[in-house]
Amino acid sequence: MSPRQATLDQPSRQLRSGGGAAASPAREPLGGGRAAPLRVVHPRRRPERLRPSTAASILAVAVVLVVAIAVVATQALLAQGQFRLATLRASESSAQSAHQRLELQVAQLSSPQRIVWVAQHKLGMVVPNQVTYLQPVTLPRSSARP
Amino acid sequence: MTPSRTAGRRSSRRFQARRRLAVMGGVISLACLLLVGRLAQVQLLGGQRYVAYGSAQMNRVVTLTPQRGPLLDRNGNVLAMSLPVEDVYADPHQVTNASNEAQVLSPLLHVPRPVLLRQLKARTSFVYLARQVSAGVSAAIRAKNLPGINFLPDSRRFAPDGNLALPVLGFTGLDNQGLAGLEYKYNSLLAGKPGQAVMRVNPWGTPITGGLLQMHPAVPGRGLRLTLDTAIQYETEQALSQEIVASHARSGMAVIEDSATGQILSMASLVASPHGSPQPAPSNFPVTYTYEPGSVMKLSTFSGALGAHIITPSTPIHVPSQLVIAGSVFHDAEPHGPEVLTATQVLAQSSNMGTIKIAERLGAHGVSHWIRAFGFGSHTGLGFPGASTGIVRPVSTWSATAIGSTPIGQDTGVTAMQVLDAYNVLANGGVFVPPRLVQGTVTGSRFQPLPPPARHRVVAPWVAATMTQMLRHVATNQGTAPAAAIPGYTVAGKTGTAQKPLTNGRGYIPGAFMGTFVGYVPAQHPVLTAVVVLDRPTPIYGGSVAAPVFAKICGYALRLMDVPPTSTGTSSGTTGAGAG
d(CA B533, CA B254): 6
Which of A114, A135, A137, A138 is the best substitution to test chain B (most B C-beta atoms within 10 A)? A135
Q: Report the run of H or E that residue B127 belongs to, with start and end.
A: strand B127-133
A111: which chain B residues are within 8 Å (Cβ-Cβ)? Answer: 160-162, 164, 230
pLDDT value of residue B60? 83
Q: What is the DSSP string of B416-476?
A: HHHHHHHHHHHHTTTEE---BSEEEEEETTEEEEPPPPP-EE-S-HHHHHHHHHHHTTTTS
What's the pLDDT tens digit per position in A17-63? 444 444 445 455 554 556 778 888 777 766 666 677 888 999 999 99
CB contact set of B354 (below 8 Å; sequence gap of 6+): B317, B319, B341, B343, B345, B346
B77: which chain A residues are within 8 Å (Cβ-Cβ)? Answer: 107, 110
d(CA B110, CA B136): 14
Give how far B220 is from chain A: nearest CA, Å.
13
Are the C-beta atoms of B491 and B499 separated by less than 8 Å? no
CB contact set of B468 (below 8 Å; sequence gap of 6+): B426, B427, B492, B523
Which of A105, A111, A121, A134 is the best substitution to test chain B (most B C-beta atoms within 10 A)? A111
B78, B574, B577 ranked by CB distance to A116: nearest: B577
d(CA B344, CA B233): 34
pLDDT value of residue B572? 41
d(CA B78, CA B95): 42
Nearest CA in chain B to A115: B579
Answer yes or no: do B234 and A112 touch at CB < 8 A. Answer: yes
pLDDT value of residue A5? 44
What's the pLDDT tens digit per position in B315-361? 999 999 989 998 888 988 888 899 999 999 999 999 999 999 999 99
Structural domains of chain B sorted by starting position, each given as residue range(s) with its CATH number in brackets = 61-88+126-226 (3.90.1310.10), 230-560 (3.40.710.10)
pLDDT value of residue B88? 92
B81, B231, B571 ranked by CB distance to A103: nearest: B81
Radius of gyration of chain B (CA): 37
pLDDT value of residue A33? 57
A128: which chain B residues are within 8 Å (Cβ-Cβ)? Answer: 575
A101: which chain B residues are within 8 Å (Cβ-Cβ)? Answer: 83, 135
The conformation of residue B219, written as its DSSP 8-state character, comes to: B
Bridge pairing between strands B59-64 and B71-72: unpaired
Is residue A96 scored above 80 in pLDDT?
yes
Are the C-beta atoms of B514 and B292 separated by less than 8 Å? yes
C-alpha B387: how far from its chain's center? 9
pLDDT value of residue B50? 85
The conformation of residue A143, written as its DSSP 8-state character, comes to: G
Nearest CA in chain B to A80: B210
Which of B67, B68, B568, B571 is the best substitution to test chain A (most A C-beta atoms within 10 A)? B571
CB contact set of B280 (below 8 Å; sequence gap of 6+): B163, B166, B167, B269, B270, B271
A79: which chain B residues are within 8 Å (Cβ-Cβ)? Answer: 209-210
Nearest CA in chain B to A137: B569
Nearest CA in chain A to B555: A131
Answer yes or no: do B81 and A96 touch at CB < 8 A. Answer: no
Nearest by Cα to B234 from B262, B267, B261: B267
What's the pLDDT tens digit per position in B506-517? 788 998 999 999
Answer yes or no: do B575 and A101 touch at CB < 8 A. Answer: no
Are the C-beta atoms of A43 and A7 separated by less than 8 Å? yes
Q: Report the run of H or E that residue B109 belongs to, with start and end.
A: helix B98-109
Q: Sign of the C-alpha dihedral, residues B552, B555, B558, B560?
A: negative
Whether A97 and chain B come into contact, CB under 8 Å, resolves to yes
Give how far B546 is from chain A: nearest CA, Å.
20
Give how far A61 is from chain B: nearest CA, Å.
30
Are the C-beta atoms of B66 and B191 separated by less than 8 Å? yes
Answer yes or no: do A103 and B78 touch at CB < 8 A. Answer: yes
| ipTM computed for the complex | 0.74
Q: What percent of chain A has pLDDT over 90?
A: 34
Answer yes or no: do A107 and B160 touch at CB < 8 A. Answer: yes
CB contact set of B441 (below 8 Å; sequence gap of 6+): B69, B189, B222, B223, B224, B225, B447, B448, B450
Are the C-beta atoms of B379 and B346 separated by less than 8 Å? no
The conformation of residue B93, written as its DSSP 8-state character, comes to: G
Answer yes or no: do A111 and B576 touch at CB < 8 A. Answer: no
Burial B361-382 (b: 16+ CB within 10 A, else e): ebebebbbebbebbbbbebbbb
Q: What is the DSSP string of B22-58?
A: HHHHHHHHHHHHHHHHHHHIIIIISHHHHHHHHHHHH
B160, B162, B574 ranked by CB distance to A130: nearest: B574
Which of A82, A88, A94, A104 is the best substitution to test chain B (most B C-beta atoms within 10 A)? A104
Is residue A146 scored above 80 in pLDDT?
no
d(CA B464, CA B366): 17
A83, A103, A132 ranked by CB distance to B572: nearest: A132
Q: What is the DSSP string of A94-139?
A: HHHHHHHHHHHHHHHHT-HHHHHHIIIIIS-----SEEEE--PPPP
Measured in degrees and rounded to the nearest 5, phi and psi for residue B570 equal -85, 135
Extract the residue ranges of chain B whose pLDDT is less than 50.
Answer: 568-580
Nearest CA in chain A to B160: A108
- 3-class secondary structure for B54-68? HHHHHEEEEEECCCC
Measured in degrees and rounded to the nearest 5, phi and psi for residue B91 equal -110, 95
A107, A127, A135 ranked by CB distance to B577: nearest: A127
Measured in degrees and rounded to the nearest 5, phi and psi for residue B555 equal -60, -45
Continuous H helices in B328-391: 343-348, 352-362, 364-373
C-alpha A87: how far from its chain's center? 22
